[in-house]
Amino acid sequence: MAIDMKGKNLVSIDDLSREEVAQILETAEIIKLRHYSKESQPVLKGKILGMIFQKPSLRTRVSFETGMIQLGGEAIYLGPDDIKLGQREATKDIARVLSRYVDGIMARTFSHDIILDLAKYASVPVINGLSDLLHPCQILGDLLTIKEKKGRLSGLKLAYIGDGNNVAHSLIFGSVKVGMNIVLATPSGYEPRSEIIEKAQVDAKKIGSRIEIIYEPEKAVDGADIIYTDVWTSMGFEKEKEIRKNIFKPYQINQDLLSKAKDDVIILHCLPAHRGEEITNEVIDGPNSVVIDQAENRLHAQKAVLALLL
């Protein structure tokens, strides 16, 4: 049975039911199929998305803007100099004013509190395009990619190697919603936040998924169907770059680590990649890598979100 998601926010995958996640993925599959069939899909004709950016972006901006156009709508880019969130104007005022102009708001911010304030005060759907805590749209595209490549999601093992950052947090939430098992190998002191694990365990217990935090990459990739990594130094942590490079060195995805996983394991990276750091050229350009398909699926997953929410 279809679920009416009109007017709903997408702040976190944890806020979605299992059925809503399934509906987004199924809608994305239909939208992608119709896209490649050259079928017009003007489901958002007359709709406008306001896009707030505090951080630079390639995939988020282009995929959302392209998605709106392909669905018959329009998008307005609002960069750091256009809206100085919390500086020039209070976030709640921005949310209320934009709600009178546009049909939805997508924001890519530093502080997660900004996303929460936008969602609290806006009267139109708010979509988290990325915050320092979560990256839900990325993971919806990832789940679509895994489903395409593996034919299923439930029961698979995903090994995440690296920093317990916003991508890791949303991967945890996303994995347990679809019945995947996730093991995260991080250096000591760089684990995902405990409150994220605690919240995700609620869904994990219901569906029978496993969440494991360990410190040995080799153990994590043993029997893995998917290996996922991200940059060691996210935006906002640039001062820690040299320290992190030394600490994370044993967590590089290279051919030696890859050989310890299944032969048909797929490699995911949310991009941009720091080649030669968290992943080698040999692996990211190799036959197990699906990172470009993964990047494309941001477009189709987000189109599904836009079509369902706006």
Q: Which residue has the tokens 């969602």?
A: 119
Q: How many CB atoms lie within 10 A of CB 7?
A: 11
Q: Any catalytic annotation for residue 244? A: no
Residues 107 and 86: beta-carbon distance below 8 Å: no
Catalytic position from the list 132, 298, 300, 302: 298
Interior angle at CA 86, CA 299 and CA 99, nearest 5: 55
Tell me, yes or no, if 108 is annotated catalytic: yes
The DSSP code for 50 is E
From the list 230, 244, 252, 269, the catalytic residue is 230
Radius of gyration of the chain (CA): 19
Catalytic residue (one of 59, 61, 135, 169): 135
Q: Where are the beta strands (DSSP E) in 104-156?
A: 104-108, 126-130
Shortest CA distance to 100 belongs to which of 123, 116, 67, 84?
A: 123
What one-letter code names the amino acid at 78?
L
HEC states along 163-190? CCCHHHHHHHHHHHHHCCEEEEECCCCC
Distance CA 75, CA 69 (A): 7
Instruction: Please identify which of the residues 23, 70, 138, 302 carries the catalytic annotation.
Output: 138
68: helix, strand or coil:
helix
| Rounded distance between C-alpha atoms, residue 136 and residue 172, angstroms | 10
Give the bridge partners for 200, in sequence order: none
Whether residue 230 lies in the annotated active site: yes
Q: Is there a catalytic annotation at residue 298?
A: yes
| Residue spans of alpha helices (H) in 14-121 | 18-36, 59-70, 91-101, 112-121
Exactly one of 108, 112, 244, 269 is catalytic; which is it? 108
Quick count: other Cβ atoms within 10 Å of Cβ 104? Answer: 28
**In whole angstroms, what is the distance from residue 278 CA to residue 276 CA?**
6
Q: Which of 14, 244, 252, 270 is catalytic?
A: 270
**At 256, is the secondary structure helix, strand, or coil?**
helix
61 is catalytic: no
For residue 81, give both structure tokens: 């100099």
What positions carry a catalytic annotation? 108, 135, 138, 230, 270, 298
